[in-house]
């Protein structure tokens, strides 16, 4: 393994691009390989075993491409699968989890809201996170079925995400949250809409900056940061329809992106 090897990043679909964008900005010399598992999205309503198998299969694929580190750019897959990935693979594996600690540190009302998938909210890892960091505040966790799908379709401000968000935000707003954690990597793409619905007083926290920082730290420790003269770059893969996913990604990133099909068809491969 050497420093010129790429970093592998994956999510159930396009949501993890919110993390990729942050990594791109912080680590411009790195080659990034992104896998959108769009053929199996959303993960949020799939059994944990299925997600664990997908995460292992995608990680294996990224290792075959020479990845020097893996970023699980998905709260749901981190909750379900990161312990297993770390047991199975010996390279650095960075996950993402709802930013409860920073939210508890800044809340003034003492009430924070978290939007996440059902799989994340009902996971043992999330319960442990609340146990460790959520004791100094009231933490209201709201599962959001269907919301990541809107982003998967590139629908960031239409009637459907608006209706869903109104429904999911109402119980949080009625309890006077002053801090809202985006606990799914798809949701930062809905931030303008969320802001419009909650107003300017509530602070929104997106943990991708912390993930990028942790990635930098681990690569630096292992002397695996890319050479500062390297041009950097990105390659995208999907298990869904490459043409359709390319259209959605190009819209989200505001530039033309092409995708290669992921050569994995079954979670058991
Ligand atoms: N983007 C993912 C997350 O961070 C998962 C969304 C989904 O596939 O349900 O949780």
Which residue among 17, 18, 48, 77 is best mutated to probe the pocket of ligand 1, counting the most ligand atoms within 8 A of its Cβ? 77
Give percent of the chain with pLDDT exceeding 90: 96
Nearest atom (ligand 1) to Cα of 12: 8
Q: Please provide the average confidence, as pLDDT, over all residues in the chain.
A: 96
pLDDT of residue 263: 83
Task: Say if residue 260's pLDDT is above 50.
Answer: yes
Indicate the pLDDT class of residue 264, thresholds 50, 70 and 90: low
Ligand 1 center from residue 77 Cα (angstroms) = 7
Q: State yes or no: is 241 an active-site residue.
A: no
Point out the catalytic residue in the list 144, 150, 184, 241.
Answer: 184
pLDDT digits (tens, 9 = 90+) for 167-189: 999 999 999 999 999 999 999 99
Ligand 1 center from residue 230 Cα (angstroms) = 31
Nearest atom (ligand 1) to Cα of 76: 10
Ligand 1 center from residue 51 Cα (angstroms) = 11
Indicate the pLDDT class of residue 208, thresholds 50, 70 and 90: very high
pLDDT of residue 1: 78
pLDDT of residue 2: 86
pLDDT of residue 42: 96
pLDDT of residue 269: 43
Which residue among 185, 189, 245 is best mutated to probe the pocket of ligand 1, counting the most ligand atoms within 8 A of its Cβ? 185
Task: Say if residue 27's pLDDT is above 50.
Answer: yes
Q: State yes or no: is 74 an active-site residue.
A: yes
Ligand 1 center from residue 229 Cα (angstroms) = 34
Q: What residues are in contact with ligand 1 under a 6 Å CB criterion?
A: 11-13, 15, 41-44, 74-76, 117, 120, 148, 184-186
Task: Say if residue 126's pLDDT is above 70.
Answer: yes
pLDDT of residue 268: 44
Task: Say if residue 266's pLDDT is above 80.
Answer: no
Which residue has a Cα nearest atom 2 of ligand 1?
74
Give percent of the chain with pLDDT exceeding 70: 98
Which residue has a Cα nearest atom 8 of ligand 1?
42
Quote the pTM value. 0.96
What HEC string does the chain produce?
CCCCCCEEEEECCCCCHHHHHHHHHHCCCCEEEEEECHHHCCCCCCCHHHHHHHHHHHHHHHHHCCCCEEEECCHHHHHHHHHHHHHHCCCCEECCCCCHHHHHHHCCCCEEEEEECHHHHCCHHHHHHHHHHCCCCEEEEEECCCHHHHHHCCCCCCHHHHHHHHHHHHHHHCCCCCEEEECCCCHHHHHHHHHHHHCCCCEEECCHHHHHHHHHHHHHHCCCCCCCCCCCEEEEEECCCHHHHHHHHHHHHCCCCCEEECCCCCCCC
Nearest atom (ligand 1) to Cα of 186: 1
């Amino acid at each position: 393994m050497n420093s010129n090897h790429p970093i592998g990043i994956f999510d159930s679909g396009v949501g993890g691009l919110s993390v990729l964008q942050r990594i791109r900005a912080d680590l411009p010399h790195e080659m990034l390989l992104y896998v959108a598992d769009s053929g199996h999205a959303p993960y949020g309503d799939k059994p944990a075993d299925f997600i664990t198998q997908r995460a292992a299969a995608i990680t294996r694929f990224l290792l075959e491409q020479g990845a020097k580190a893996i970023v699980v750019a998905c709260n749901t897959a981190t909750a379900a699968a990161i312990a297993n990935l770390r047991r199975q693979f010996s390279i650095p594996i960075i996950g993402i989890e709802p930013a409860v600690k920073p939210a508890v540190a800044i809340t003034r009302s003492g009430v924070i809201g978290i939007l996440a998938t059902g799989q994340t909210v009902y996971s043992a890892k999330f319960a442990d996170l609340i146990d460790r960091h959520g004791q100094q505040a009231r933490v209201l966790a709201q599962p959001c079925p269907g919301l990541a799908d809107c982003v998967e379709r590139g629908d960031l401000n239409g009637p459907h995400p608006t209706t869903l968000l109104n429904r999911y935000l109402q119980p949080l707003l009625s309890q006077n949250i002053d801090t809202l954690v985006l606990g799914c990597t798809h949701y930062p793409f809905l931030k303008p809409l969320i802001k419009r619905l909650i107003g300017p007083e509530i602070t929104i926290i997106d943990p991708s900056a912390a993930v990028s920082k942790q990635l930098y730290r681990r690569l630096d420790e292992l002397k695996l940061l890319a050479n500062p003269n390297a041009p950097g770059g990105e390659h995208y893969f999907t298990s869904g329809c490459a043409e359709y996913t390319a259209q959605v990604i190009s819209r989200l990133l505001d530039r033309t992106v092409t995708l290669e099909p992921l050569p994995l068809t079954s979670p058991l491969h």
